[in-house]
Structure 1
Amino acid sequence: MWSRLYFVAQALAGGAWWVAVFLSPAVREATLGSLDPVIVAIFDIPLFVCASAVAALGSRVAAVIAAVWTFIVTGCLAVYATVTTEAGLGVLLMAGAAAGSAVGLCFVLLGRLPTEWIVSRGPFAFRPANARASSFAHVATTAFQILIFWGFFLGVVPLVLAFVEQRWGLSMPFPPIAGPTGFVVFLLASALGLWSAAAMSTRGAGTPLPAAMPNRLVIAGPYRFVRNPMAIAGFVQGVAVGLLLSSWLVVAYSIAGSLMWNYVIRPLEESDLEARFGDEYRRYRDTVRCWWPRLRALPAGQIGAMHDADDVKAPVVS
């Protein structure tokens, strides 16, 4: 039902956009640059607008056509905008349509988002770490993970986004205080992330990543105040990097990542924790909030009551 409503909205929005393209030179220039709208319309109207309308009637083939075409247009338009510095707004609009079409297609074909693939396949599948490895090995592995993940998600991706934001003509001025504020916030968030990683790797016989989960229940350090300190640190770091780069697109990327984690990843993680640890995890979940820290750390006696024997596996509290 929701997928059909989405494709209805996409068809109407696509049709309205094409009307605006032919009626408004400003819209045409902002979204298509110097591209000939007639040539583009010959392909886009049947493959995007009409296919979305037919998909809204329940056609799986039309949904596939609309989604695939949307991804092709997004990629081609992104290359065009990066080379020519034109049509940046069009890239953003098509990227949003591509994401929506992908979600809609999943519901049309599967009736759901295949989120279970996250916990069962690939590098982020839930797996315990090697329990026989030394604490030094777990700390070293965690440090390597931090280097790779922070370097990619807080370095490479933001720099690419800031670059294309400039090339696509989408940059906006930030106040002078944004840079110093971002620097301070980044340091504080990084300290929280490192504290969380240290607590998980030294006390849990594992790492913060689901691919190498701790083997003991970890409710120490920042986990005594909030259930997801590493996630909080990561999202705040991303916003701070956006302030440092004066890039609203990086800030938006960080917010989008936090929403995806909260609504897609976190439910899977918490279901896994509850299934494996039952009342143990439920007590912790009911005592310590997910995002809003406690003013006082969880009392040591209460923490002890939550621990099982040393052979109990730990939840992925990250």
Structure 2
Amino acid sequence: MSRSLSQTLSRVYFALQSLTGLLWWILVFAVPSVREATLGTLDAGAVAAADLPLFVGAAAVAACGVRSAAVVNALWTVVVAIALAVYATVGGEAGWGVILMGAATIGSLLALSLLLLGRIPTEWIAWGPLAFRPADESRETAVHLAVTAGQIALFWGLFLGVLPWGISVLEQRWGVAVPVPPGVPVAGAVLFFAASVLGLWSAAVMASLGRGTPLPSVMPNHLVIAGPYRWVRNPMALSGVMQAGAVGLMLGSWLVVVYAVGGSVLWNLAIRPLEERDLEARFGDEFRGYRDAVRCWVPRPPRSIDRF
């Protein structure tokens, strides 16, 4: 994406944010249910006195390409989102305001990045313990399997246990939960089991044949195209997204499902390009042939050749 296009998209976003923000304030003062759902018992007039110039006004000025206004808008949006989250968690009201401002915060920060840098700096993800480095190939296969098992326990416990549970609790506390049909949790459990089998199978194949682990800092030393990797290029990512969505169904939490979708978008747009760039640099034509033959997300029957 060119810098000019990035900045144009940023300015369009800020223009839309200004218009939707103004519309929201009109509804706040005109419709009591909207005011209650998004602000609770907060003084709407006092909040508007600060928010109209710093959110609506600054976004309008940022839409004209003024960078300082974009910075003000983004910082204010972050502050309001955090303040509303604390208020909603303590008081149990204004939950929909948290959702709206949370979404606005993500949008403002992304638009600010496009305006200032002309791009989204995704490379910051791959640094320190997450930098792409191959594993020590001299280790026994049992060691790679043990390290992989530890990674699975840690990441599944955090991203499929602690975080979804916390999101579900906040969803209830903020009053934004919606009822789900009785069969949804059961369907979620079935999906979670199937996705977990896929994830464990993929991890075992990567550790035993690739002589490494799924973690970027301990990556496999060999390109793995066996097992589920013959059907889809990223079976562990696919498994993780399905697991997170399944947890959302089991908890009856639409916010956890959104969390799963957001994770898939983040992985696909930010992490996958970095990972594939590293794989191409290390394996060259072998990886390029594999990439051309096997889809990223949608499985299809493997071809009848051993190497691509």
The CA distance in 2 between the partners of 1:133 and 1:43, in whole Å, is 60
Q: Amino acid of the residue matched to residue 287 of structure 1? A: A
Q: 1:102-181 alignment to 2 at 5 Å?
A: 102-119=109-126, 121-181=127-187
Residue among 182, 191, 196 paired with 1:190: 196
Partner of 1:202: 208
The CA distance in 2 between the partners of 1:220 and 1:97, in whole Å, is 42
Residue among 244, 263, 270 paired with 1:257: 263
TM value normalised by structure 1? 0.91
Q: Does 1:66 align with 2:51?
A: no
TM value normalised by structure 2? 0.94
The CA distance in 2 between the partners of 1:178 and 1:116, in whole Å, is 38
Partner of 1:56: 63
Partner of 2:5: none
Q: 1:69-84 alignment to 2 at 5 Å?
A: 69-84=76-91
Are 2:188 and 2:247, in contact at CA under 8 Å, matched by a contact in 1? yes
- % of aligned pairs identical? 58
Report the RMSD for the aligned CA atoms in angstroms: 1.3
Partner of 1:294: 300
Aligned length: 301
**Over residues 282-307 of structure 1, what are the superposed CA-to-partner deviations in whole Å (9 max), with x where a residue is unaligned?**
21112211122123x443xx22x44x
Q: Amino acid of the residue matched to residue 106 of structure 1? A: S
SS across alignment from 2:180 = coil
Residue among 47, 69, 84 paired with 2:54: 47
The CA distance in 2 between the partners of 1:23 and 1:219, in whole Å, is 60
The CA distance in 2 between the partners of 1:13 and 1:122, in whole Å, is 39
Q: Does 1:101 align with 2:114?
A: no
**Runs of at least 5 residues in structure 2 that lack an aligned partner in the other structure:** 1-7
The CA distance in 1 between the partners of 2:176 and 2:67, in whole Å, is 35
Find runs of 4+ consecutive structure 1 residues off by over 4 angstroms: none
The CA distance in 2 between the partners of 1:114 and 1:274, in whole Å, is 20
TM-superposed deviation, 1:268: 2.4
TM-superposed deviation, 1:132: 2.1
The CA distance in 2 between the partners of 1:261 and 1:111, in whole Å, is 21
Q: Amino acid of the residue matched to residue 235 of structure 1? A: V
**Over residues 100-122 of structure 1, what are the superposed CA-to-partner deviations in whole Å (9 max), with x where a residue is unaligned?**
00101111211100012223x13
TM-superposed deviation, 1:36: 0.1
